[in-house]
Amino acid sequence: MKDPFNIAIIGCGNIAGGYAKTLQPYSHIRLRGATDIDIKRAEDYVAAYGGRVYPTLEALLADEEVDLVVNLSIHHAHFVVIRQCLNAGKDVYSEKPLSLTSEEAQSLVALAQKQGRRLSCAPSTILGEAQQTAWKTIREGKLGTVRVAYAEVNWGRIESWHPAPGPFYAVGALFDVGVYPLTILTTIFGPARRVTGFGKVLYPDRVTKEGVPFHIDTPDFVVAAVEFANGAVARLTTNFYVGHHSKQRGIEFHGDLGSLYLNDWQNFDGKVEFAEFNKPYEVVPYVKEPYHGAEWSRGLVEMIAAINEDRPARITGVQAAHVVDILCAVQNSFEQGKPVELASTFPQPEPMEWAR
């Protein structure tokens, strides 16, 4: 086991603080430093959390003491940044999505394999206590054969809370937040094989917190039917319009014997409930006392554990690339007006040791 295990951050924006704060209990992981296209942000970040400022990405990658790079750049930069890191011989953990096209995502997976490097990608919420509890209940057969799931992502209006909403609206709700339930669903059901999508811009003209008007063209509302190789079907709804207060939230799994409700696909202390067919829901006890909220760094911590233990990681670039394939297929479906088939696959991860 390498101790300390040195990481470096690329991109010191809104989410970077969450990673640094949730890494603090892990004394074997050390923040070596950070960089950002806005060097002042990198300076403020290391002043708060430690490490050194790298003036450029190239300077960061030249540091032989950096064991792993954490890519927290904006969506559109993911492919270029990850490719540069892999070519420099670094292991990479990236924020989601892995890339914005299937071709780019699959090429990153191939490059990581060629370079003999590890590649993992958020989201890692399937590693949460609530999510692992839900998955264990399904694996144990309490629902019987699960045939349908409903996944709701009502993510509100980004401009109401984020200082820079532009990149989120440029990629759209599907690519930004659809990855969360899709990663959970593919972990439980396996690879998808066919999708049918619908997309629409609901609210095209918006105003930032500073009062600056802006216009969006990427659909802020997308609905998809996702058919999995195991026979299950999921309905996915994503939008940047309906607020978090919506009563339609989380993921419902429905099987021959009963149903399971995970009311929060993001936070690790979401409520898990089970109901026998035509009976009321009852709370399912957690397999382990949950982390309160979302531990942003859990996937990174798990990846580092996999490296130290020389075993497969539970959060992988291969699965993330398949999720990108689903996203792109949904987009192609609503643009073309017809279902789209998928062919990619991935090895399903193992549950956490404490949730077996």
Domain boundaries, the chain: 5-124+298-313, 128-294+320-355
Residue 13: closest CA among 45, 54, 58: 45
The fold of the 5-124+298-313 domain, in CATH, is Rossmann fold (3.40.50)
Residue 2: per-residue pLDDT: 86
Residue range 128-294+320-355, CATH number: 3.30.360.10
**pTM given for the model:** 0.97
Residue 136: per-residue pLDDT: 98
Q: Where are the alpha helices (DSSP H) in the chain?
A: 16-23, 39-49, 57-62, 78-87, 102-115, 129-139, 166-177, 179-189, 298-309, 317-336
Residue 1: per-residue pLDDT: 76
Does residue 126 have a pLDDT over 80? yes
Residue 227 host element (H or E): strand 221-228
Tell me the helices (H) and strands (E) count for the chain, helix number first: 10, 17
Does residue 262 have a pLDDT over 80? yes
Model pLDDT for residues 288-338, shown as the tens digit of each residue: 999 999 999 999 999 999 999 999 999 999 999 999 999 999 999 999 999
Chain mean pLDDT for the chain: 97
Model pLDDT for residues 148-193, shown as the tens digit of each residue: 999 999 999 999 989 889 999 999 999 999 999 999 999 999 999 9
Does residue 56 have a pLDDT over 90? yes
In which band, very low, low, confident or very high, does the pLDDT at 113 lie, cut at 50, 70 and 90? very high
